[in-house]
Structures are given as C-alpha cells and as structure tokens.
Structure 1
Amino acid sequence: MRAAISLAGGNEVCFSCTVNDEGIITAARPVARGDISSVLALPGFAQRGEMLVHNHPSGVLQPSGPDLEIAVRVHGDGIGFGIIDNAASDLYVVVEVPREQPIIEINPDDVADLLGPDGPIAAALGRYEDRPSQREMARRVSKLYSRGGIGLIEAGTGVGKSLGYLVPALRWAAANGERTIVSTATITLQEQLVGKDLPFLAEALSDQPVRFALLKGWRNYLCLQRLEQARTAGASLFDTGAAAELDALASWADKTRDGSTADLLVAPRTDVWDEVAAEPDLCTRLRCPYFEKCFVFSARKLAAQADIVVVNHHLLMADVAVRRASGNWGESAVLPAYTRLVIDEGHHLDDAASSHLGQTVTRRGVQRLFARLDRNGKGLLHSLERKLVAADDLLSVASLDLVRARLVPSAATARELGMRLFDILDEWMHARSEQQVRLTPAFDDEPVWRAGLSASLDDVLREIELLSEGLVMVRERLETDERRAEELAPLLNEIRGVTRRLGNAADGMRMTLRPGKDADKLVRWIEARTDSRRRQSDNTAEEGDRLDRNVALASVPLDMAPLLREDLFRRLETCVVTSATLAVGEAFDFVSRRLGLDQEDVEPVTASLPSPFDYATQAILAIPTDFPAPNEDARVHFRRTVQAAADLVGVSGGGVFLLFTSHRDVREAAQAMRALGMESQHPLLVHGEDTRDALLRRFREHGDAVLIGTASFWEGVDVPGPALSLVIIDKLPFASPGDPVMAAKLDALRAKGLHPFPHYQLPAAIIALKQGVGRLLRGQDDKGGIMLCDPRILSKSYGKTVLESLPPVPQSPDLETFCQFLKSLPIVPS
C-alpha cells in the first residue's frame, strides 16, 4: 500500500482490502487513484466482506462528508470503509465490514399511511386525491419487501402505481440500506419517475434522504476522449459537414447536464455519433484523461450511491446477460448489485428481453462498419497508417506494411462480399414481392442457396475472419511496445471495438442464415424495407438518390421464459412486476407463462387493484353493431370507421384519438379525413408526420385536435383534462399472424397440442386493447367516450372475456345516447 501511494506521488489511492478478525489488513489491491468517489463508478471495485480503504495525504484520518456518504453506501453492499495515512501505518475504521444483519421489516400499514389523507404526501401535494388502491398497493409491495417473493400487481389507470411502489422501496432503503432497481419500458415513464415523482418524494419524505439516479446504456452518452479524437482526425474520418457538428457537440459538452442524447436539442448525424458515443469496449477507464469528467462514470457513480436506480428494460437485460456470461450474481456489473427489483410496464418485459438478446445485421449497418475502417482513403486504417508513417522504428514499419498490404485490401474485399450477400437476399425478396420473410427449415431447400447465397455467405464469413485476424495481429504487435501502445491507445481501442463488431456481424449472419442445431430455439427472418433517405458516409455515392432497400437479417430467442425465470427472478429477494394491463379477465396466467412465472418455486402473488375512477359517470362505451367485421370486409369496415369518426368529431368538438392497428390505415384515414375537409375545422395531427412528442404537445395545446395514430399512441400517452374526450379504436388489436415472432410462437403452441387463439392471440390482443382504452381517463375529473368499432366483441363467444377485462365503462344502448353524453362534456376554452 505504501508503494502504491508513493507511485501516485503521495496522492489519494483507493484499495480493496481483506481484513482479518483482529482488524488487520492482510491483503490489498489498488482499484482507483484520485477522488475517492470515483471508485463507486467502477464495476466490481470490491466484493462483499471486503473493506474499501483510501489514504488521506494530510495525515488527518477524520472522515470528510463525502467519506461518510460513501461509507454508508458501501456498507449497504456488505463492504467496510476505512482511512489510512500515507505510510499505511495507521488505520481508522469508519464502518466495520458488516456482518450478516437481520432484516428490519417495514410495517405495511405505516407505509400505506404515508399515502393517506393525513400523511406527509397529502400535505406536500397542492391537490390531494384519495386513492385507496394506491395505499393497498403500498401495503402489498411492503409485504413483498419484508417477506420476499414475486408479485404481479395490475394497477388500474389512476391508481398512481409509481408512488405505490416507490414509497415502500424508499422506506426499505432507509431501514435496511438496500437499493431498488426500477425498470421501465418507455422514456415517458422514466422522465416521470426521475423528473417528477422522486423529486416530489424527496421533498415530502423529509425524515429520510431520498437518493435516486437515472442510468442509461453507454451509447446514450458522449465520450469526451472520443470527441477529442474525432475532432483531431477530422477529414480523415468523415466526409464534409462533420466538423460543424463536432464543434457543436464540444460546445454542448461544456453545458450539458448529463452528456446524454436526451439533453441534445438536435441529434447529430448517425456516422458522427458513432464516432463520439461512449462504448464499453473502447473505454480506458482510470487511464482516460477525462475520467473525472466522464458522463458515463458520473452516472454510474450516482447510481452506486442511490437508493432507487431507474433504468429501461433493455439495460436491465444487458445486466442479466453480463451476469449470466460471467457468473457474477452478487457484485456490480452493468448495474450496481441489487436483489430488489420493480419492473414497471411489465407487460413489455419478455419482448424487450427477446429484442436485446437477439441479433440484427443490416446492409446499412455493415456499410457503416466497413466505412469506419476504410472510406475513400479515410477511416481508422488510414488514421493508423498516418501514425505509422510518422514513425521510423522497425515495429512501425512492419505494422505499416501489414496495414497497407493486407488490412486495407481485406476491408475492401469484405465490404464488397458483404454487399453482394445483401444484394442476393434483396433480389430474392424482390422476386417474392415480400418485405418480410420468416425463415423456417424449408428455407434450407430454397433455390437461392444454389444460385449463389451459399458461396456468398461462405466468402463473406471467411473474409471477415481474415480481416479480424489481421486487425488483432496489428493491434497485438503494436501493444508489445508500451510506449507505442500508450501513444496509439485510443486508436487501438477503436480497432478493438470494430473487431468485436465484425465478429457480431458474422455471428448475426450465421445465426440467421445457417443456425445449425440452434434453429429450433430461434425465430429468424429477413426484412427489406424501402427508405428514401440518402445514404450518407457509406461510400455509395454512385447510388445517387435512389430509394434504398435496407435489407436486415434478424434472429431472436423463441422462448424467453426459461431465461427470465432462471437468470432474473430466481436471483432476487423481491420483485414487483406491475402495469395497468397484466390480467386477462381476472387471471394472470398469460403474463405468468410469458415471464416464466408458471412454476411452483417462482409462483407469484397476484393482485388486481381497481381504478379510483367512477366509470359509471365519467365514461361511456359504444360498440357499433351495424359495421361488418374487419376480418370479413376490411375495406368497408375501414370506410365505416373513418366516416363514424368524422361524424363524432363534429359531435364532440374535437379532442379525439383515432387509433388504428396499422400504419397503412393511419395514412389512408388521414387522406380520407382531409378529403372530408376535417383540417378546415380541427387541427389534424397524423402519426408519422411529426415526432410523437411534438404531436402530443400540439394536441394538448389546441384542445380540439384530432390525432390519428397507431402502436406508440396506444400506451404511454397521458392527456389529462378536456383536451381528450373521445377515443375511437378501429378493431381488436390482434397481432398479424404474418409477423415472424408471432407466427413462430403460434407454431410452437400447435406443436404442444395447444390452440393458439385462446392461449396467445386473444390474451395479447386484450392486453393491447386495455392500453388503448386506458388513454381516455387520466384524472378523477376527466370524462369522455370510447368507441370500439369491432362488432366481434358482441357477436363472438370471446367477446365476453374482452368486455370483462376492460374497465367497467357502461355500454351505450344506442348511438344517440352516446352522442348526448359527448355533447354534455365541457368545451375546451380557446
């Protein structure tokens, strides 16, 4: 320890230490230099049962304020904290290595009372609404913390579920020093939690500290070192126009709150962000000159000190994947160590897990990847070439020859072979007149293999392997000289990252096209989507402005339930899965099967908590009986839906969501509404014609607008008050059986002898429909109507299950009664 402190010039060094029963340090390893708080950003800085020790160069061993804060935080993770002098002769123990402590249970009724009319939260609110279901949720969540276990809690619209789980989580942290990870599906909910709910609780719960943090994936953050490198490289990396964007990013970096893309007013070009985004495999961590200012590690530091860490489902699954691969279930990984987890918007978890653990390789992505190496005399290889030309030592000369004679030609060949592979697939898709094709075992017998696909796949995989081997060779050769390795470290790190991505691209091609024994565990498909955007920075100027079909190869695991059960739920002490839409009728079987919670040893407790809204007086439901069923005459059904919507807009005075299940219907409905003169009477806002946030902002501002939307407007949208008074849904949102993932799931059910419709298609549609219906009422003073333009709800035997799953909205006996209710609603002041 003395030697490490001396090598650091007598400055602060942090050690992870083993301490014996007599309080003597028996082993120590340095883990960080500089500010003690920086160590908290590092994954695995200390293990449970160790002591974190750092020196005070002044020789004064009294803990500072930051020392005490860190001591409290690490103590909760089972780590002690101490201070030594520079001679390492005196140890001041701030907190001992914690021995196993009994759990301090939190009283469910006491926690619920915090949310009651006489509690501190009511006192802090300007306008308090009594929510008995919220208090009941807090009781149930508190029991799950104290007793352990998994809970599936459906909290109807208006329950206020976020406070229903945040308050128990914070009380648990205060009592036991354990953090909770809160995972969400949408940015909207993340922003609500960290921008509204948690700051409010920090004020309302004044008897305890409320520490929280938002943590995002690495690529969401700017890397200051990569930004400096990109600005220095300039023309050697980019085509024209990038310099101004890099300068703008540098200026923004001096002012930004957190260095994440969410704080950018204007997003930079994709190729520019690719060169400046933080990447875990490119990070030099403590050796980086910008480590103290690093946005990623600043966020990780805050997360390590927080009682509540808010993430999204993809980052949660990234953490699970790393822990699964490394066997690290108890220490920091992508996320800080945790055994208490809340999964909000839990109906999306298995889809997010499937998406994250799957692989996608696109023509445009492969183009960008090879462009990072070599693009018209620019790119990483040419940056490395210039560095080597400037040196005259034998190592540099030999490496330069390798770059020129092998790597540059190999990159060009691999790119050409990759584009040839995608061209063959594009031509095959075009001949089939399909944009999306699921790959089944029958694909192995397609003539396209004999027509060149087999040889093309072999060629590109072999060339990528040769290119990767060459990149590894030149990097390892240069790293044998410590001085050169230090000088070229940023560039060599970039090459290491590209090598990994080449491997991922090859794995993705192989997994989709030639999966071998894993074929039955995967859903595989090819897509070819038309995009009118110009190709930028992909060395394809000769393509001009033609419409570009971006071909994609995709594969995802077929069944996520076993992984979620084994590698997530069984590792936790407490897990709360919540959403406004988890149950079908009163049963949680569907979501339990999807999440792997249908086994006895992980069987969850369930609860369906009713909305506080008085649906009998606040809302009305209409289901036309004179419409044709959408599966019988789709075009007539569509025309009747649009005409009914136009008529009802006139009755309601606007404030309408018109929700469809396909983008094509959205476009055609907008065209029809414009032909009917709708835009001359009400603002017409159309999904795809502006960003989602911009459309919602304009909808709220106008108060009498008509918004036509699809998937992303069915949920995660909050428009309280009279600005939204009518929600029209075109039909039951059954997923297309042509969707590759859906088709594979249905085939798997048939193979088990199960009927796909009641086991999957209907429950999934009901969950989606409940989300769409939930857009209408967002507060206890809201009122409005819902029209479901699908007569199958009344004519089919499954309609009873659909209606029983929806909120208890009274059904209008006729259209006249429905219109009278709409006319009685307050008009939004202009």
Structure 2
Amino acid sequence: MAKISSYFEADSVLAQALPGFAPRAAQTTMATAVASTLKKRQQLVVEAETGTGKTYAYLVPALLSDGKAIISTGTKALQEQLFHRDLPTLRKLLAPSKVVALLKGRANYLCIHRLQAAQAHASELTKAQQQQLREVQIWAQRTRDGDVGAISGLPEDAEILPVVTSTVDNCLGRDCPLYDDCHLVLARKKALDADLVVVNHHLFFADMALKDVGFGELVPAADAVIFDEAHQLPDIASQYFGEAVSSRQLQELAHEIKVLYLTELKDLRQLEKAADKLLLSLRDWRLVFPTEPQRGNWRQHAAQAEVQHAAQAVEDSLTFLVQVIKQALGRSKDLDNAYDRCIDGLAKWQLLMDTQRTGYSFWYETTVRQVTLHQTPLSVADKFGGYLNRSDMAWIFTSATLAVGEDFTHFTHQLGLYKAATLCLPSPFNFADQAVLCMPRYLPQPHEFSMADKLVEIVLQVLEVNTSGGTFVLFTSHRMLQRVATLLAPLTERELLVQGSTSKRELLEQFIANGRAVLLGTASFWEGVDVRGDALRCVIIDKLPFASPDDPLLQARVEDCRLRGVEPFMRVQLPPAIIALKQGAGRLIRDAHDQGVLIVCDQRLVTKPYGGLFLKSLPAMRRTRELNDALEFLKALETS
C-alpha cells in the first residue's frame, strides 16, 4: 500500500476527484500519525485547529487500514455529515469494498411494538399526539431503517416520539414479539457486520458501560476507535460511569402500568391503586425542590427533614408497587418488564439516598415538573484508562480544542491516557491578517449590574459599522442573555435571534439566511456551529467561561483537590474555561476567506495573571485594547 502521505499530495487521487482539495502540511502530518497509531494499536491525542482538515486526516487512514473501526462524534449533526457526505466520497475513491454503517441511540429508531400499542390506545393520547401519530403511521409503512429523524412533518421535540420509541427501561428485548423486525436490532446487526461504524459519544459510552440491555457488543469487536470532538469526552464519560434516577422515568413507568390495568389486567384493581400512589408521591417529591429549574448539591439538600420524608414516601410507594406486581408475574410480558424496572428503580433510589459515600459528586437537576438525582464519579481515569490499556486496540482522540497552550495534561489525565502520544497542529489560516481580538478598556467587572448596559452599548457600536455582516453574542449564563436581549430589542431594527425562542437548527438557518442578523446564545452555540463568510463577521463574548461556583460537580472536584493537597483553581477550574473560550473564539474564522473581529468583554483577560494562559491558547489574531480599532477593522470590511 502507498504511503498515507501520498494521498494528500497535489497530484493524488483525492486532489483529482475532490474540488478545492489542496495539500496541507498539518493534514498530512496528522494522517501519517493516525495511520501509524492504527498499525501499532497505540494511543494518540491530536489537537487540530480549524482549517487543518482533520476529518479527512483520520477517515483516509481508517478506510485504508485493516480491521474494524468505530468513529465516534460529539453530535448527531456531525455523525450524519460524516456518513452521508464525507464517507461515501472517500469510500468510493479509496475502499469501495468496505462496508460502512451509521448507528444511533435507540431513541432515534421507531419501536414497532410501541407504535402498535399507541395505535390501540390512541384515544388516550392528546389531540396533538393523535395528529402526529397519523404522520408516524404513514411514514412507518415506507421507512427502511426506522430513523425517526427522517419524518419531515414532525418537529425534533414532537410529543409523540417518546410514545413510539423505546428506552432501555421499557424495551422487551428478546421477549418482544417483533424482535426480528426491530429497526434498532437490524441497525445493530448492520453495525456489527460493517468495517467502519459511525456512532456518537453517548452511544459509545452506553455500549462501553453496558448500560444498554442487549448491547455492549460493538466496542469489543473493534480494532480501532477514533473520537472526533473529543474535548466532550470527560464529561460524557462521567455521566455513563455514574448513576441517575429521574422522577420522569418513574412517572412513565406508573402510567404504563395503569394502561396495562385498563387493557390486559382489568381484574387487578390494586395495580392501578399502587401506580396512583407512586404518582402522588412523585408530585409531592417535586414540591420539596426549588420552583425554578436549577442544579444543586444533593448531599446538602438531602439533609432536610421534609426532603427525607418525601424521599421515604417515594421509596415506600415503589416498594408497594413491586409487591403488587409480584403477585401477577407471568401474566404479561410488559408487566414482567415493568417489574424489572421497578426493582431497578428502587435499587437506584436507595443507592442515591446514601450520600455519604466518597469519590462521587451527588447532585440534583430540576425542570418545571421533574427532578433527576445524579451520582457522578469525580474521576473516570482508572475505569476508562484501565479499559484502554487492557484492550488490544488503537485509540485516537482529536478536536480543535484539547490543549491548554500546548499542554495536554488536563485532557489526558482526566481520561487516564498516560501512554498516549500527543500532537498539536496549528491552523493554516492567516489569523493576523484575517481577524482582530479586542479586549476593550474601561469595562465594569463581569458581576457588576452595569455590565449588561455596557454589553448592549458595544453591540450597538458593532452593528453601526458591521452593516452587511452578522454578529454572534455569546453568554455564559441565560440570565445575562435574557437581560441583554430585553435591553437590545427596542434599540435595533436588525433581526434579533434569541436562544430558546426556537430550535438551535432553526435559529442558525434564520441567521445564515438573513446575512446580517444578531444571534444571542449560550453554551450550545459556543461549539459545533459552522457559519462561513460575511454572515458572521463579529463574535462578542460576555465573560470568561468559568463554570458556575454553585455547580455541584465542580464543588465536589474542588473539595477533592483540597483534600489531596492540590491547588484546585489551576487543576480543576482554569483548564475547562480555557478550552471553552477556544471553542467560542473558533466560531469566527471558519475558512481561509473569512474575516472578522472577536471581542472578549472581560477585564480579567489582561488584569489577572492567568489571563496570559487564555491568550496563549487563542489563535494568533492581531490584538488591541481599543474598541475603535476593532470597529475600524469591521468598517474596512464593508468596502473590501
């Protein structure tokens, strides 16, 4: 086989077949390192900044190598882009005999058994659900893969989707009468038979942690795993190596048991009473938490007498329900499944009531109607790193943002990647000419009330000169976003797109279509957003993205550092903030022709000693403290 580097030369098969392809030294370096890692079954961590071409740098070696490879992405959007756009072209050119497959999580696939159940009890659905059910029924007759994302008439958050898809809890597995026709089962079979499988991080860890019944076969069958958007892995891994129980899960279980009583087991009146008792205790349970949706420290909250009383009531209700169902085991497969879920829910509930165990963060998360309790390990390094070291596989981790400066320690130590080789590849873009980084003088401190007014003033000054381009304003909190949105709305005629008013995808489509809009967003817009050209000429960031000091997982990690005699700020708080700022800054320059201004409205970037670490990690843009310099740069773009 030819050297990997030859595929990235000016006269290569890729150059001849792909419009706009041009050799990039960093891309060739990465591809060579990936190919070597795959061959030797080692570990590699690569930061490849925007413009490097990292997607092809790992896809080409993966397609040309022997054995089975899994490619895991951070989002379904990138997952679909890889499978539907990038892979077909490369596969045709380089490895036409290789079989590739796309595998999503079970919530993305129609469950035929649950669809039939919904049809049988359609009268119990809301009018909106009944209307959506009709669309699902029509689509179900023609779909081949059962991917509900293909139902064009339904919104992403359609009420009917949880009714016609399965969860780990309510899936009957091999006991399902429609098991052989199950879209999820067929998708998994395709994945197991394929040479290259595209998954996402959540699905990968569900498999690895064996959280999904009947799964856990995919990862052990692979010879190589490649993680794109790998900066997300530490947090996602923590979720899957922890435990959680939500009131929503238990409510859905109770409602399904009530339906079984009304349809199959009408002589078991006690079943309905037990389910109603659980629902009542769960309503009371929500009332002992703050009204506003939030995260909090479960260990502290659990110490309150009223909380303990409400928790005991839920446990008693679950115990009673278990006893009632036990008397009817064997009469219904769905009821037998519900019994197993009750037992599992009760065990998790009792586990999460024991908050005195060390090594974990205990925290809760509320919505308007629900409460979820979490037990999250403070470190996954032993579990994840141990798994990697025991496996005879190649492991590759890549993202545009993994290092602090050029130091990968924060990332590698979180995942236990002590043997991994590291590679830091700069962007080929000419940031010094393409962009300006402005850190305006004379700003209030980020926590001061006047900061919102100052932000609005800066946005208006930008809009005055950025007349034919778009602007992102990125926030670290919803509260500041809403305050600025309220102040800004009556002061500009530009289209103002505010996160939460509609879906992220819809907001981005409107932003790009308008070409000169203003988009106000929080965390989800700091990464995974690709807007090229004049539609995005300016990114304004309200403050350095440190995690909230009230975040219970952060509190637990800080406390753990102190107990071990380690300084928590440099070890726990600073690195994620630097990586998050790199992500936000990365929204601005997406290709070699983009130009624009990044404005960071936080004095700490220049007044605090750690500000230098942030600046060292950002692209080498021309820097200024004068807002007028940035405005002049934007004004010049109007005439260029």
Q: Shared topology, TM-score over 0.5? A: yes
1:727 equivalent in alignment to 2:539? yes
Q: Provide Cα deviations, 1:641-672, integer angstroms capped at 9, x if missing partner.
A: 22112101211223111111111111111112
Q: In structure 2, do the counterparts of structure 1 residues 732 and 257 end up closer, same or farther at CA, with 3 Å as the change threshold?
A: farther
Q: Which of 214, 221, 226 is equivalent to 2:102?
A: 214
Aligned to 2:455: 641
Q: Which residue of 2 aligns with 1:382?
A: 262
Hey, what does 2:83 align to over in structure 1? 194
Alignment of 1:777 onto 2:606: no
In structure 2, the CA distance between the partners of 1:325 and 1:799, relative to structure 1 (3 Å rule), is same
| Residue among 126, 138, 144 paired with 2:31 | 138
The alpha-carbon distance between structure 1 residues 572 and 740, as it changes in their structure 2 partners (threshold 3 A), is: farther
- What amino acid sits opposite 1:356 in the alignment? Y
Question: How far apart in 1 are the matches of 2:212 and 2:511?
Answer: 45
CA deviation string 1:74-132 (max 9, x = no partner): xxxxxxxxxxxxxxxxxxxxxxxxxxxxxxxx76xx11221222111111112223321
Judging changes above 3 Å, is the alpha-carbon distance between structure 1 residues 435 and 779 closer, same or farther for their aligned structure 2 residues?
closer
Contact 1:360 1:554 in 2 (8 A): yes
Structure 1: stretches of 5+ with no match in the other structure = 1-105, 387-399, 479-491, 531-548
Q: Secondary structure at the match of 1:520?
A: coil
Quote the Cα distance in structure 2 between the aligned partners of 1:814 and 1:416. 60
**Bigger Rg, which one:** 1
Q: Deviations over 1:676-731 (max 9, x none)?
A: 1x1x2x22111111111011111111111111111011000001122111111111
Q: Name the counterpart of 1:113.
A: 6
Alpha-carbon spacing, 1:281–1:792, altered in 2? closer, same or farther (3 Å): closer
Q: Which amino acid aligns with 1:457?
A: A
Match of 2:136 in 1: 249
**Counterparts of 1:372 and 1:285 in 2: how far apart (Å)?**
17
- Cα distance in 2 for partners of 1:515, 1:798 equals 35
Identify the residue that residue 61 of structure 2 maps to in structure 1: 168
Query: 2:284 — aligned with what?
Result: 420
The aligned residue for residue 474 of structure 1 is 328
Counterpart selection for 1:697 from 500, 505, 509: 509
Partner Cα separation in structure 2 for residue 157 and residue 771 of structure 1: 10
Equivalent residue number for residue 655 of structure 1: 470
Q: 1:459-538 maps to which residues of 2 (within 5 A)?
A: 459-476=313-330, 478=331, 492-515=332-355, 519-530=357-368
Q: Distance in 2 between matches of 1:291 and 1:610?
A: 49
Alpha-carbon shift at residue 289 of structure 1 (Å): 6.3
In the aligned structure 1, how far is the partner of 2:97 from the partner of 2:109?
A: 28
Matched position secondary structure for 2:32: helix
| Cα 1:138/1:471, change in 2 over 3 Å | same
In structure 2, distance between residues paired with 1:568 and 1:494: 38
**What residue number does 1:437 align with?**
296
Q: Which residue of 2 aligns with 1:224?
A: 112
| Gap change, CA 1:783 and 1:260, over 3 Å in 2 | same
SS at match of 1:635: coil
TM-score (norm 2): 0.93
Which amino acid letter does the alignment assign opposite residue 196 of structure 1? Answer: R
- Secondary structure of 1:322's counterpart equals coil
SS in 1 for 2:450: helix
SS in 1 for 2:437: strand
Q: Which residue in the other structure is 1:604 paired with?
A: 420
Secondary structure, in 3 states, of the residue corresponding to 2:364? strand
Alignment CA distance shift 1:268-1:499 (3 Å): farther
Aligned equivalent of 1:319: 207
Q: Is the 8 A contact 2:208 2:216 kept in 1?
A: no
The answer as to whether partners of 2:206 and 2:212 remain within 8 angstroms in 1 is: no
One-letter identity of the residue aligned with 1:460: V
What is the identity, as a one-letter code, of the residue corresponding to 1:754?
Answer: V
Following superposition of structure 1 onto structure 2, how do residues 265-284 of structure 1 map, counting pairs within 5 Å? 265=152, 266-267=154-155, 272-279=160-167
Would the alpha carbon gap of residues 267 and 369 (structure 1) be closer, same or farther in structure 2, given more than 3 Å must change? farther
| Greater RCO structure (CA 8 Å; 6+ sep) | 2
1:818 lines up with 2:630 in the alignment: yes
| Change in CA separation of 1:117 and 1:766 when aligned onto 2, cut-off 3 Å | same
**Superposition pairs of residues 388-407 of structure 1, within 5 angstroms:** 400=267, 403-404=268-269, 406-407=270-271
> Is the CA contact (8 Å cut-off) linking 1:212 and 1:308 kept in structure 2?
yes
Are 2:367 and 1:567 equivalent residues in the alignment?
no
Q: CA deviation at 1:164?
A: 0.7
Question: Could you tell me whether the CA contact under 8 Å between 2:168 and 2:213 is conserved in 1?
Answer: no
Distance 1:435 1:705, change over 3 A: closer
Alpha-carbon distance between aligned partners in 2 of 1:180 and 1:685, rounded to the nearest angstrom: 40
Q: Deviations over 1:399-434 (max 9, x none)?
A: x4xx23x423322223333333333x23xx46xx99
Q: Equivalent pairs: percent with the same residue? A: 35
Which residues of 2 match residues 674-823 of structure 1 at below 5 A? 674-676=489-491, 678=492, 680=493, 682-812=494-624, 814-823=626-635
C-alpha separation in 2, matches of 1:273 and 1:434: 24
1:411 to 265, 269, 275: 275
RMSD: 2.7
Structure 1 residues 284 and 240 mapped into 2: Cα distance closer, same or farther (>3 Å)? same
**1:308 and 2:196 correspond:** yes
Residue 324 of structure 1 contacts residue 567 of structure 1 at CA under 8 Å; is this kept in 2? Answer: no
Q: 2:544 is paired with a residue of what secondary structure? A: coil
Whole-Å separation in 2 of the counterparts to 1:604 and 1:771: 23
Quick check: 1:355 aligned with 2:355? no
Q: Work out which of the residue numbers 156, 159, 168 in structure 1 matches 2:49.
A: 156
Shift of 1:261: 2.8
Alignment gaps of 5+ in structure 2:
none
CA distance in 1, matches of 2:482, 2:91: 45
1:673 corresponds to? 488
Q: Secondary structure at the match of 2:589?
A: coil
Q: What is the CA deviation profile of residues 411-469 of structure 1, one whole-angstrom value per residue up to 9, with x for unaligned ones? A: 2223333333333x23xx46xx99443033x556x4x32x5x44543343233133224
Distance 2:482 2:392 in 1: 46
Q: In the alignment, which residue of structure 1 is the partner of 2:370?
A: 550
| Secondary structure of 2:210 counterpart | helix
Length-normalised TM-score, structure 1: 0.72
Residue identity matched to 1:554: H
Give the partner amino acid of 2:229.
E
Match of 1:39 in 2: none
Deviation of the 1:292 alpha carbon: 5.7
C-alpha distance in 2 between matches for 1:281 and 1:712? 28
